[in-house]
Amino acid sequence: MSDMNTITAERAGRRESAAPRIMIVEDEPSIALMLAYNLEAAGFLVERIERGDEAELRLAEQPPDLLILDWMLPGVSGLEICRRLRARERTRTLPVIMLTARGEEKERVRGLSVGADDYIVKPFSIPEFMARVQALLRRASPGRIASKLTQGEIQLDRETRRVFRAGRELHLGPTEFRLLEYLMEKPGRVFSRAQLLDSIWGLSSEIDERTVDVHVGRLRRAIARGRQRDPLRTVRGSGYSFDETFGREGMASASAPPTT
Ligand code: CA
């Protein structure tokens, strides 16, 4: 009992401070690598496991915040792992996304009937996959992922898909919205054009890197009118970032009383 309490306290402590932990159980290295790369770029802590039996041991030891589970695995099948997770108290509500090459309705129903929360058929696009992960995490633990991102006077609402600057609504296209959301999640971090292409358009897209410049340009024009400060930084030879100092001085003079 005291052991359980210790574990619970540890997990609670970590939950407040650290990024969500995602376990990928997938025996195809190229898929596992691609998913891990994109999840890590989005700020998640990722653990990769190739065998079903090995996954069971790790899951009993330390369940993640979300599990990506391939259906066909060496050792124990994903279907069986999911069934067993649901039978145990500690993992009964663990969010699970099943991956499979099978796309038949009957199989889909079978996957969901053993308790998977979501089901993705290969091949799938990375933006689609990332959206499902975020949606499931939000459903599973609201508050874990903020529904609003705020930097200075810019506020982005993921649920209503609306963006405001100083109370005025900005009208962004879907790509500009995703671009802004992505950059605002990690203020200060510089993303290369290739990284932005992978994360926002998907690895399989055959879009030219100059497309990124075009959309950043559109986003800039929508976000900073007239003499308003531009929160997006172009880092020569590297890429783009959301300026982490944006709004700090402005906020201090606009809303806080002078302290000197
Ligand atoms: Ca497999």
Delineate the domains of the chain, giving CATH numbers in brackets. Answer: 3-142 (3.40.50.2300), 146-254 (1.10.10.10)
CA-based radius of gyration for the chain: 21
Alpha-carbon span 117 to 252, nearest angstrom: 44
Q: pLDDT category, 253, cuts 50, 70, 90?
A: very low
The encoded tokens of residue 64 equal 């993640």
Residue pair 138/144 in contact (Cβ under 8 Å)? The answer is yes
| Distance from Cα 173 to the centre of ligand 1, integer Å | 37
| Distance from Cα 75 to the centre of ligand 1, integer Å | 11
Q: Work out whether the CA dihedral 240, 245, 248, 249 comes out positive or negative.
A: negative
| Distance from Cα 243 to the centre of ligand 1, integer Å | 41
| Distance from Cα 74 to the centre of ligand 1, integer Å | 8
Alpha-carbon span 81 to 84, nearest angstrom: 5
Q: pLDDT category, 255, cuts 50, 70, 90?
A: very low
Is pLDDT above 70 for 1? no
Q: What is the pLDDT of residues 161-218, one digit of tens each?
A: 899 999 999 999 989 999 999 899 888 889 999 888 877 887 656 778 889 999 999 9
- Give the phi and the psi of residue 151 in degrees, each rounded to 5: -135, 115
Query: In this structure, which residues have their CB less than 5 angstroms from ion ligand 1?
Result: 27, 70, 72
Alpha-carbon span 32 to 40, nearest angstrom: 12
How confident is the model at residue 217, as a pLDDT? 96
Alpha-carbon span 67 to 115, nearest angstrom: 12
Using DSSP, state whether 95 is helix, strand or coil: coil
| Distance from Cα 203 to the centre of ligand 1, integer Å | 20
| Distance from Cα 107 to the centre of ligand 1, integer Å | 15
| Distance from Cα 70 to the centre of ligand 1, integer Å | 6
Residue pair 72/50 in contact (Cβ under 8 Å)? The answer is no
| Distance from Cα 169 to the centre of ligand 1, integer Å | 45
| Distance from Cα 72 to the centre of ligand 1, integer Å | 4
How confident is the model at residue 159, as a pLDDT? 79
Helix, strand, coil shares of the chain, percent, nearest 5, are: 45, 20, 35
Q: What is the largest CA-CA distance in the chain?
A: 69
| Distance from Cα 248 to the centre of ligand 1, integer Å | 48
For the ranges 126-130, 149-153, 210-214, 250-254, which has the lowest average pLDDT?
A: 250-254
Element (H, E) at 196: helix 193-196
96 or 14: which leads in pLDDT: 96
| Distance from Cα 88 to the centre of ligand 1, integer Å | 24
Residue 124 CB neighbours (<10 A): 15
CA 105 to mean position of chain CA atoms: 27
| Distance from Cα 28 to the centre of ligand 1, integer Å | 6
Average pLDDT of the chain is: 83
| Distance from Cα 100 to the centre of ligand 1, integer Å | 7
Is pLDDT above 60 for 148? yes
| Distance from Cα 84 to the centre of ligand 1, integer Å | 19
Alpha-carbon span 194 to 39, nearest angstrom: 16
